[in-house]
Amino acid sequence: MSDLLIENGRLIDPSQGIDRQARLLIRAGIVAAIDPEDEVIPRGCPTIDASGLLVAPGLVDLGVEIREPGFEEDETIQSASDAALAGGYTSILCNASTTPVVDSPGAVEYVRQKAALANGVRFYVIGCLSRNQEGDQMAELRLIAGAGAVAISDAPKPMVNDALLKRSLDYCRMLKLLIIDRPEVPELAECGVMHDGQVSLVLGLKGLPTEAEDLAVARDVRLAEATDGRLHVGPVSTMGAVDMIRRVKSREIKVTASVCPHNLCLNDRMLESFDSRFKVHPPLRSPRHVQTLKEAVADGTIDAIQSGHMPRSREKKMNDLNTAPFGAAALETTLSTIATFMVEENVIDWSTAIDRLSCSPARIASVPGGTLSVGSAADIVIIDPSKQWTVDPSLFRSHCISSPLDGHDLKARVTHTIVGGVVRFQLVPDLNRIANCSDQS
């Protein structure tokens, strides 16, 4: 589909300060005009009637585990692409947590070629900060960047080598590369299962103390200040982390931060069920932390919301709580989670939600997207804000069917995801397909 007209929708684009009913014309995969004159619209142009719907820039995720190569039972590039499209994402940054890890130009090229074959969401590669993610020696950052990596990180592993992180911040400043660190002190978090607090004490489960994150964030932001490097910390989950990020931002230090949706809506009492679907990372914290994170998203201390998609196969998540891996599917529920627990509760409005899910992540990663300005790629999500649905992970497009929101009633759902002017996901046909499959069975 080279041309497309979306009309009667509420166009929300924080990058341009737009929040009003408008028509959007797409020509050859590019945003051609907002509110075009009738004579500008090609004769016979395909049309989407977005009456009662929201039209916004496609979502951008700052860190997704795709698991291929090496762990295809958890997720593949194709299944991650399908899941992302169903969740309204048009661009995702891929963590280097594969086997082999993405610490060479060849590994970057492999992911990019496989992503092109998936023919769906736009994939951007995050290269390793250290060789083999071992934290000892710097990876070949210049070569990795030259092969197309847009950021550098050992996530989901934290960077524990202070000296290496400092050198990397200095070096990546010259390369104009973003470094992403998942903040945690491993020695404090070792063998932890859940948030370290009263609930973990009662349940007799090893806790993940907030200090493990707080100390790592303190080190990260101090090194970012010392080197003037570009650093993103996240996802974060504690009040202490929010406080430090807020203070360094007041000094105009180049630090950004993100949070996962599960840390904005669920708390550590969920683990009283001993259900491994609630074993996620960052862990579900106490209600005080949840409220602080919500306020930080609202006031801009936390710049972005990332899905925290860490897919793990059914067999792995069926283990008991102590031995089951951290992880959950989140790409298909993130937008609705934010709509339900943030927008519906009047913590933020839709414009702020789109900014945190689309505009800010694109700006932080310096990738195309996050805008519907004329001349930009037509990467668009259309949302039904009043659609209510119940999370059923068995219908996920991801290989992972473990979700802490399993059975929750959510508000708002993606109806269309458009990448480069092409409708890559449409909700209604998928629902019809599911109904037909049910009838046949």
Tell me what pLDDT residue 97 has.
82
Tell me what pLDDT residue 428 has.
77
Say if residues 394 and 401 touch (Cβ distance below 8 Å). yes
Say if residues 164 and 179 touch (Cβ distance below 8 Å). no
* DSSP-assigned letters across all residues of 103-166: -SHHHHHHHHHHHHHHTSSEEEEEEPSBGGG-SSSB--HHHHHHTT--EE--TTS----HHHHH
Report the amino acid identity of residue 383: I
Q: Tell me the C-alpha distance between 217 and 182, whole Å.
A: 9
Backbone angles phi, psi at 384, to 5 degrees: -95, 105
DSSP 8-state secondary structure symbol assigned to residue 266? -
Q: Tell me the C-alpha distance between 117 and 122, whole Å.
A: 11
The pTM for the full model equals 0.94
Say if residues 243 and 186 touch (Cβ distance below 8 Å). no
CA 147 to chain centre: 23
Tell me what pLDDT residue 252 has.
87
The CA–CA distances, whole Å, from 103 to 156, 215, 231, 409 equal: 14, 27, 19, 41
Tell me what pLDDT residue 420 has.
95
pLDDT tens digits, one per residue of 30-59: 999 999 999 999 999 999 999 999 999 999
Tell me what pLDDT residue 439 has.
43
Q: Which domains can be identified in the chain, with CATH numbers?
A: 3-55+381-387+408-440 (2.30.40.10), 56-365 (3.20.20.140)
Low pLDDT (below 50) residues in the chain: 431-441
Tokens of 433: 């397909």
Tell me what pLDDT residue 436 has.
40
Q: Tell me the C-alpha distance between 244 and 256, whole Å.
A: 12
